[in-house]
């Protein structure tokens, strides 16, 4: 079997990431996180692109060294073309183009959302790969989608959010509670110690397989404001229960739509992906769904949930096998057709 070495670059948002894959195995997976955004309560695009420019060369250097691969051994370079922040994407795209020219090797453009789904095809001990067709629930800071995945390059969105992404629901709730950005992991942490039934929030009514989270955010905001008016220490005293209850309603919303998607498609293999799939409550619920509903669920290895370049690399590998290359006229796309 031919040995294919892919350098993958991901720079769509605030993390600068590089990975080296040998075929479908990850040799190194490096992420430089940008803490600069914490104090602003969200990603500042201008600062993100500057940090990418500083980080990209060292991150790729470390990825090559950790993998013990010389750049002359590389078979191709894969990069995130979109969707994402334009200034951030430009850094990865331009670097990938230049290096592919310098090394005279093929260039591969990857859709970030495809990568969150296809991360399940990375060869990892103890992790099964889904069989086509399967359903993917992609939940991140920018997206909430249910995707019918027919093949590596044949996917259709059958449900998506009509307003906020589920990651925003986590992050905006965290902001209301006075927690720093990104608040998702903190809500997860406090929820572990809390009672998910303490504060029953209500599910929004949305037709079909689509989602809505902006109403939930408002519901939570009013709930907190009302209680803080009566007790200024309400949030401090009930943080765990609030977080557990918020997380529970989000899980309920996701599960309701997944069950509907299974009923409509007859597909019972479910893969989750995206930053929010790091959430321990969601992971546990999906795991339990195997016994409860007879589904087969695929929960990614923790390091492949939030943004990373290994997932870009596995798509790069599949595209390499199918000769799906770009010329150097390829450009970043903040929005990209699925």
Q: Which residues belong to the annotated binding site for substrate?
A: 138-142, 171, 184, 188, 279
* Shortest Cβ 259–Zn ion spacing (Å): 25
Under the criterion CB under 6 A, does residue 241 sit at the interface with ligand KG4? no
Under the criterion CB under 6 A, does residue 83 sit at the interface with ligand KG4? no
Work out whether the CA dihedral 195, 200, 202, 203 comes out positive or negative.
positive
Ranges within 7-66 binding ligand KG4 (CB under 6 A)? 13
Ranges within 144-173 binding ligand KG4 (CB under 6 A)? 167, 170-171
Ranges within 202-261 binding Zn ion (CB under 5 A)? none
Alpha carbon 26 to chain centroid, angstroms = 18
Q: Which residues pair with 155 in a beta bridge?
A: 149
Residues annotated within the binding site for Fe cation are: 112, 116, 307
- Considering only 29, 140, 161, 269, the residue that binds ligand KG4 (CB under 6 A) is 140
* Shortest Cβ 163–ligand KG4 spacing (Å): 15
- Confirm if 271 and 298 have CB atoms less than 8 A apart: yes
Quickly count: other Cβ atoms within 10 Å of residue 202's Cβ. 10
Residue range at the interface with ligand KG4 (CB under 6 A); choices 74-82, 139-147, 295-303, 326-334: 139-147
Identify what 184 binds: ligand KG4, Zn ion, none; CB under 5 to 8 Å per kind: ligand KG4
Under the criterion CB under 6 A, does residue 194 sit at the interface with ligand KG4? no
Q: How far apart are CA 34 and CA 38, in angstroms?
A: 9
Report residue 171: phi and psi, to 5°.
-70, -40
* Shortest Cβ 48–ligand KG4 spacing (Å): 12
Under the criterion CB under 6 A, does residue 185 sit at the interface with ligand KG4? yes
Closest residue to bound ligand KG4 by CB: 275
Q: How far apart are CA 3 and CA 22, in angstroms?
A: 7
Identify what 188 binds: ligand KG4, Zn ion, none; CB under 5 to 8 Å per kind: ligand KG4
- Considering only 26, 91, 276, 312, the residue that binds ligand KG4 (CB under 6 A) is 276
- In the complex with Zn ion, which residue's Cβ is closer, 67 or 113? 113
Environment class of residue 71 by beta-carbon count within 10 Å: exposed (0-12), middle (13-18) or buried (19+)?
Answer: middle
Ranges within 128-147 binding Zn ion (CB under 5 A)? 140
- Break the chain down into helix, strand, coil percent, rounded to 5: 50, 20, 35
- Considering only 82, 92, 275, 316, the residue that binds ligand KG4 (CB under 6 A) is 275
Helices within 177-327 (DSSP H only): 184-191, 214-230, 234-265, 280-293, 310-321
Per-residue exposure over 4-25, b if at least 16 CB sit within 10 Å of its own CB, e if not: bbbbbbbbbbbbbbbbbbbbbe
Residues that bind ligand KG4 (CB under 6 A): 13, 140-142, 167, 170-171, 182-185, 188, 274-276, 278-279, 306-307
Judged by the rule CB under 5 A, the positions of this chain that interact with Zn ion are: 140, 307
């Amino acid at each position: 079997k031919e040995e294919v070495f892919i350098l993958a670059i991901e720079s769509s948002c605030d993390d600068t990431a590089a990975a080296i894959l040998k075929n479908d195995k990850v040799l190194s997976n490096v992420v430089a996180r940008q803490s600069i955004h914490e104090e602003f309560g969200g990603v500042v695009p201008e600062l993100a692109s500057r940090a990418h420019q500083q980080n990209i060369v060292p991150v790729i250097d470390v990825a090559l060294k950790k993998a013990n691969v010389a750049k002359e051994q590389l078979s191709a370079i894969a990069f995130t073309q979109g969707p994402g922040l334009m200034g951030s994407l430009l850094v990865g795209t331009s670097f990938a183009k230049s290096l592919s020219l310098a090394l005279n090797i093929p260039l591969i453009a990857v859709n970030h959302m495809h990568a969150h789904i296809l991360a399940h095809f990375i060869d990892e001990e103890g992790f099964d790969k889904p069989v086509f067709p399967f359903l993917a629930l992609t939940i991140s800071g920018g997206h909430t989608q249910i995707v019918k995945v027919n093949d590596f390059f044949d996917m259709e969105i059958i449900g998506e959010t009509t307003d906020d992404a589920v990651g925003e629901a986590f992050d905006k709730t965290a902001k209301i509670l006075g927690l720093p950005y990104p608040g998702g992991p903190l809500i997860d942490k406090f929820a572990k110690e809390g009672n998910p039934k303490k504060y029953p929030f209500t599910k929004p009514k949305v037709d079909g397989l689509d989602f809505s989270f902006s109403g939930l955010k408002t519901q939570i905001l009013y709930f907190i404001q009302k209680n803080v008016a009566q007790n200024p220490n309400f949030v401090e005293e009930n943080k765990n229960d609030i977080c557990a209850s918020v997380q529970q309603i989000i899980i309920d919303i996701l599960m309701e739509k997944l069950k509907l998607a299974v009923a409509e498609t007859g597909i019972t293999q479910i893969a989750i992906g995206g930053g929010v799939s790091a959430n321990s409550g969601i992971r546990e619920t999906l795991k339990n769904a195997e016994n409860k509903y007879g589904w087969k669920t695929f929960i990614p290895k923790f390091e492949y949930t939030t943004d990373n370049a290994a997932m870009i690399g596995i798509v790069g590998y599949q595209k390499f096998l199918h000769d799906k290359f770009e010329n150097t006229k390829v450009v970043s796309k903040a929005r990209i057709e699925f």
